[in-house]
Amino acid sequence: MSPGPFVSFVPPPRLLMGPGPSGVDPRVLAAMARAPLGHLDPAFTSLMTDVAAMLRQVFGTGNPLTLAISGTGTAGMQAALANVVEPGDAVVVGVCGYFGARMAEMARRLGAVVKVVEAPWGTPVPAGAMEAALRATDGPVKVVAIVHAETSTGVRQEIEAIGRLARARGALLIVDAVTSLGGLPLSVDQDGIDLCYSGTQKCVGAPPGMAPLTAGPRAVEAMKQRRSPCTSFNLDLLQLESYWGAAKSYHHTAPINAVYALHEALGLLLEEGLEARHARHRRAHEQLARGMEGLGLEFLVAPADRLPMLNALRVPDGVDDGAVRGRLLTEHNIEIGGGLGPLAGKVWRVGLMGYSAREENVARFLTAMRIILGAPRMSRPRKPAPTA
């Protein structure tokens, strides 16, 4: 730090249109700025009870064990896996992108015998391939894990058929809904999901920091039947239940202001209505798709498998990925994402999530892209055509 008076950090006014975090409604920011309460203050614990009830509505579940983990989406993933997976358990994971691969890696680190069912990045995992993998696995399968909305590719995964397969095999179904919750229809109870987690900073519309999670009766039973307690004290769901549930007994200090923010974001979400909200995400996506015509941009993913809230657009030939994103940020104050893994340098990831999923934002992004892609200095010099 330089000598002289301390200068507060004031973030530049970015429009967040990447893979998350997404923009936050000023009402949510205002809620977050209120004075913290004690973590066992009855006014705060009753707020937690309200948050849990709202989360049940958003998840489409009656599960008593529904709460928000203190930590980001990755902590939700860790909590879901670590509470039911024990060393030696068979776990089947569908992987068609970065986050599916992360689930597989976490299960491996928990000592599971992991079978990965892979599909190319840009397509979903076929239910038939999951079925074949389950059939080819000897002995019991503890968990089937899949990502609902693969943020690295913009692919939507059908859950229901995989839920049926998992149940028929006596396995628990864990679904990553980090990007889908609040943006895409999801019903934990109807889709037969045993453990589902999300994050606050994508379509839920709060800043990053918490991971909504719900666990059904079969998952709770598996936790109770463990040979040894969950190795993570911090993420032990049975203990967390005694903090979020009726007992209200101390486990850790909840991030009080993040809970205020989540409460406000969920209130706004439910006031808008789940269906209206999903429709808003779809409209923003359709507006983007229409506006892309004439810009030379194409989707990575086939229409039937596209996510509304995460649009992977192919970087046109001869265009410098990093330079375009750099200009969007510095000249237009718009953040979008680049590609991950095999898609690095090949796609842009345009997020239309939560508060960011609005017509005016899509229009602003399209205008900026028109300016940037129209400017000749965007193109890398092409190699001269080979002479015969």
Ligand X SMILES: *Cc1c(COP(=O)(O)O)cnc(C)c1O
Binding site for ligand X (CB under 6 A): 20, 72-74, 77, 99, 147, 149, 151, 176, 178-179, 199, 208
Neighbours of 277 (CB within 10 A): 22
**Residue 115, SS3?**
strand
Longest dimension (CA), the chain: 81
Min dist CB 72 to ligand X, Å, is 3
Nearer to ligand X, 39 or 349 (CB): 349
Residue 176 or residue 194: which is nearer to ligand X going by CB?
Answer: 176
Residue 343's SS3 state is helix
> Using an 8 Å Cβ cutoff, are 210 and 233 in contact?
no
Beta bridge partners of residue 350, listed in sequence order: 311
Residue 386 beta carbon to ligand X: minimum distance, rounded to whole angstroms:
42
- The least CB distance from residue 334 to ligand X, in Å, is 19
Bridge-based pairing of strands 310-314 and 65-70 is: unpaired
The full DSSP string for 36-60 is PPPTT-HHHHHHHHHHHHHHHHHHT
Closest by CA position to 14, among listed 319, 364, 302: 364
Name the residue whose CB lies closest to ligand X. 73
Residue 49 or 74 having the CB closest to ligand X? 74
**Contacts of 132 by beta carbon, 8 Å cutoff, 6+ apart:** none
Sign, CA torsion 276/20/158/361? positive
Q: Residue 319's CB: how many other CB atoms inside 10 A?
A: 17
What are the φ/ψ torsions at residue 19 (nearest 5 degrees)?
-80, 15
The residue among 70 and 179 lying less far from ligand X, judged by its C-beta, is: 179
* Residue with Cβ nearer ligand X (20 or 308): 20
Return the number of the residue (178 or 369) whose C-beta is nearest ligand X: 178
Query: For residues 145 and 288, which CB has a smaller minimum distance to ligand X in the complex?
Result: 145
| Continuous segment of H or E residues that includes residue 235 | none
Nearest distance from C-beta of residue 343 to ligand X, angstroms: 14
Least Cβ distance, residue 121 to ligand X (angstroms): 13
Task: Please state the closest distance from residue 293 (CB atom) to ligand X, in A.
Answer: 27
Tokens 């192919």 belong to residue: 314
State the nearest-atom distance from the C-beta of 31 to ligand X, in Å.
20
CB of 149 to ligand X, least distance (A): 6
**Would you call 231 helix, strand, or coil by DSSP?**
coil
d(CA 159, CA 165): 10
What is the spatial distance between Cα 346 and Cα 33, in angstroms, rounded to a whole number?
40
Residue (95 or 254) nearer to ligand X, CB: 95
